[in-house]
Copies of this chain bind each other. A is one copy, B any other.
Amino acid sequence: MVAAEAGVSRATVSRVVNGHASVAPEAVAAVHAAVARLNYVPNRVARSLASRRTDVIALIVPESTSTVFADPFFAPVVRGVARALAETDFTLNLLVASETRPEKTRRYLLGGNVDGALVVSHHSGDHSYLGLGDALPIVFGGRPLNPELESRHYVDVDNRHAARSATEYLLGSGRRRVATIAGPQDMPAGIDRLAGWRDAIEAVGGDVSLAEHGAFTQQSGAEAAIRLLDQHPASGTGSTGAGFDALFVANDQMAAGAIQALRMRGLASPTDIAVVGFDDDAFAATLDPPLTTVRQPATELGVSMTELLVRLISGEEAPHRTIIPTELVRRGTA
């Protein structure tokens, strides 16, 4: 190898290449020269075998989430991960976890193939990460629903608090009856955002029954809006109005659907019904009118998760819970 070319031992080459300890300046120079001359690229695999590090981190995406790959929320997270990783020597391993064969993922993770893992899952059913908890540093994106995982490291936004604030904003802008379209109740984001809305409503003694559920899709948002309209018609007069004058929707896609549905019923936003969404996804600003929403910094989430994981891998201690701030983006619908 380069050792010969540089006239030193392999050990020294290794030291130089890895920027280790103190090596004679001349030796360093000689090695660098040899490296350049020979166009030497260290073999990662051999290095891994010897050092017992892989310099690989896995980004685990449950298959179901991968279906939602087009999820406008997911892409920015990945971007954040990639960005954070670009500054390190780690490499990203995208692992689409087959939910039907969870052991495949487990084995992979346990096979010494990665130094750590990032888990992005909106869902909860997943128990496949239990048991390898101590074998490998793992950072979850989003609060794990599984209580056994609660003690793990995760980074998330404070969905509940953000939802509450958004609802309070609606209440504070003069709206009387704030309804909600909640997300699935098997995902933390769905649960927490509903809880936040309820917190706000209960605090003012409002009507907690003004809630319908959707599946975080546009279609389901439209349907939920219709149900809301049907079940809560305008009070008193036989006007075309609705039994609520504001709507907090658990994500932007559903909000888009809801607004469309409302419009088909002759109700405009924000005039008739103020709407606040959640996520500030790529399409929120392009809606007509542009959607007022709670911005969830997805890219930062990815960055943050990655930085946390890297820290864990290098043996540092780190907080189990990292909360990223959200922000209400006022646009046209509220």
Which A24-72 residues sit within 8 Å CB-CB of chain B?
41-46, 48-49, 54, 56, 59, 66-67, 69-70, 72
Fill in one digit per residue for A151-190: 1 if any B CB lies within 8 Å of its CB, else 0: 0000000000000000000000000000000000000000
Q: Are A59 and B94 in contact (CB under 8 A)?
A: yes
A44 CB contacts on chain B under 8 angstroms: 111-113
Is residue A78 contacting chain B, with contact meaning CB distance below 8 A? yes
Q: Are A94 and B96 in contact (CB under 8 A)?
A: no
Number of copies: 2
In Å, the complex CA distance between A187 and B74 comes to 26
Q: Are B91 and A66 in contact (CB under 8 A)?
A: no
Is residue A82 contacting chain B, with contact meaning CB distance below 8 A? yes
A282 CB contacts on chain B under 8 angstroms: 70
A113 CB contacts on chain B under 8 angstroms: 44-45, 91
Fill in one digit per residue for A267-310: 1 if any B CB lies within 8 Å of its CB, else 0: 00000000000000010001010000000000000000000000
Q: Are A92 and B91 in contact (CB under 8 A)?
A: no
A8 CB contacts on chain B under 8 angstroms: none
Q: Are B43 and A46 in contact (CB under 8 A)?
A: no
Q: Are B69 and A78 in contact (CB under 8 A)?
A: yes
Is residue A98 contacting chain B, with contact meaning CB distance below 8 A? yes
Is residue A218 contacting chain B, with contact meaning CB distance below 8 A? yes
Known interface pairs A48-B45, A111-B41; A95-B86 also in contact (CB < 8 Å): no
A86 CB contacts on chain B under 8 angstroms: 96, 98
Partner of A91, one of B82, B93, B288: B93
In Å, the complex CA distance between A111 and B55 comes to 13
Q: How far is the CB of A10 from chain B (nearest CB, A)?
A: 16
CB nearest to A78 among chain B residues: B69
* Number of A positions contacting B (CB below 8 A): 43
Is residue A15 contacting chain B, with contact meaning CB distance below 8 A? no
A320 CB contacts on chain B under 8 angstroms: none
In Å, the complex CA distance between A67 and B113 comes to 28
A75 CB contacts on chain B under 8 angstroms: 69-70, 74-75
A45 CB contacts on chain B under 8 angstroms: 45, 48-49, 54, 112-113
Q: How far is the CB of A122 from chain B (nearest CB, A)?
A: 15
Known interface pairs A41-B107, A110-B41, A218-B286; A69-B76 also in contact (CB < 8 Å): yes
In Å, the complex CA distance between A288 and B74 comes to 25
In Å, the complex CA distance between A66 and B86 comes to 13
Which A87-126 residues sit within 8 Å CB-CB of chain B?
91-96, 98, 107-108, 110-113
In Å, the complex CA distance between A95 and B48 comes to 19
Which A120-148 residues sit within 8 Å CB-CB of chain B?
none
Is residue A321 contacting chain B, with contact meaning CB distance below 8 A? no
Q: How far is the CB of A38 from chain B (nearest CB, A)?
A: 13
A and B contact pairs by CB, cutoff 8 A, 12 listed: A45-B45, A45-B48, A45-B54, A66-B82, A69-B75, A69-B79, A83-B96, A86-B98, A91-B108, A93-B93, A94-B94, A260-B288
Give 13 new A-B contacts, CB below 8 A, not counting A78-B94, A83-B96.
Answer: A41-B111, A43-B49, A44-B111, A44-B112, A45-B54, A46-B49, A69-B78, A91-B93, A91-B95, A91-B113, A92-B94, A93-B93, A218-B286
